[in-house]
Each structure stands twice: as C-alpha cells, then as structure tokens.
Amino acid sequence: MNSLTFKGQIASGGGSFSKMVIPGRDSLKEFPANWPLAFASGSLNVQITPDGMPTELKALGGGHGLQRLEAGRFPPCLQIKHSQIKNNRLSKHRPINAPPQFGDAQVWTAELIVNSVAPTPILCWVMRRIGASYKDILEIISDVNLKEKHRLTDGMIVSVVIHKGKSASC
C-alpha cells in the first residue's frame, strides 16, 4: 500500500496548532525536495467521518484511528524532532511513561480533494505529532492558508490521500 485515502469534512480547529512554527527548509538538515521555506500558520483540520477511515489502516495495528499511523508501519516522508517545532505544547506536557519520540512530528505528502471547489487535487502535507490525542482529525499544513486560497469552509466534504514516505512523491 503506497497511499491511504481518508474521507471527511473540513472543521474548525480547537487546539494551539496556529501558534506552532513548523521548520522550513532553512531550519532542517534533511527535507523533501518540495519542502517549503515556511509554512502558513495553523492547520486545516479534516474531521474523518465514521466510515471515512481507510480499511487498510486497521492492518497497521496499535492505537485507535489515526493513532495507528504512529507505529511507523506506514512510513512518513519526514520526521521532525519535537524540539525543532517552536511552541509545540505536546512536548511540554509529556507523560511520565511517554516514548522518546513523543511530540515528534510525522509528515506525509498529501493531496486534498475538494470536488466542489477545486478541479484538481491540492498538494499539501499531513502532519501528526506522536502522542496527539486526536483519533479522527487530520491536520493539514501548507505554505499557504488553504481555507483562504481555495475558499474552503467548515462542513465541506473532502478526501485526503496521504502517500507513504520513500515513494516517488516524497
């Protein structure tokens, strides 16, 4: 399996993602070829519908919902250490028995498909921090504010295709 397709709807954020600063290409030693210089603040949240999880996700084992991505059986394109992400509150609230990667970010190349407004898929990144409590919300990052640029609104039905790291799209 080289990709996973999720179905859901755009939803308002509820966390502090807008205060985080994801390192751009000038701040990392290694990064994918199309990694931007800087990211727009915040993330676009996609609330996965109850029937919107790909069936292949269960085969990854461990955790519930999106937590299954943390096991590394669907490799990310990039992993960013928690200390490299400014204002990463997750790493500041580290549980006593947390794994060493707690708060690190896993990032996959992705395509956001919004049939109602965009004729072609919107290229973006899905970011998941290890230990995040969200089980059914994908956080999508980009170098532009996706809501503004593509006139996206809460409730719009979307699909998100994330690609396995080490693939041609990474």
Q: Is 62 left (phi over 0), alpha (psi -120 to 50) or beta?
A: left
C-beta atoms surrounding 35 within 10 Å: 19
Q: Is the pLDDT of residue 47 over 60?
A: yes
Q: How far apart are CA 101 and CA 70, in angstroms?
A: 10
More confident site: 142 or 133: 142
Q: Which of 5-9, 19-23, 120-124, 139-143 has the lowest mean pLDDT?
A: 19-23
Architecture of domain 3-163: Beta Barrel (2.40)
Average pLDDT over the chain, rounded to an integer: 84
Where does the pLDDT of residue 161 fall: very low under 50, low under 70, confident under 90, or very high at 90 and above? Answer: very high
Q: Of residues 98 and 148, which shows the higher confidence score?
A: 148
Residue 45 has pLDDT above 80, yes or no: yes
Alpha-carbon distance values, 168 to 6, 46, 68, 70 (Å): 20, 25, 23, 22
64 or 158, greater pLDDT:
158
Task: Name every residue whose Cβ is closer than 8 Å to that of residue 167 and which is 6 or more positions away in sequence.
Answer: 2
Q: With bands split at pLDDT 50, 70 and 90, how would you rate the model's confidence at 30?
A: confident
Every domain of the chain and the residues it spans = 3-163
For residues 46-53, average pLDDT: 93
Q: What percent of the chain has pLDDT over 70?
A: 86
Asked if residue 92 lies in contact with residue 152, where contact means CB atoms within 8 angstroms, the answer is no
What mean pLDDT comes out for the span 8-36? 81
Which pTM value belongs to this model? Answer: 0.88
pLDDT tops 90 at residue 115: no
pLDDT at 42 over 90: no
pLDDT of residue 73: 84
What is the per-residue pLDDT for 33? 82
- pLDDT over threshold 70, residue 56: yes
Listed residue (143, 150, 157, 165) closest to 35, CA to CA: 143
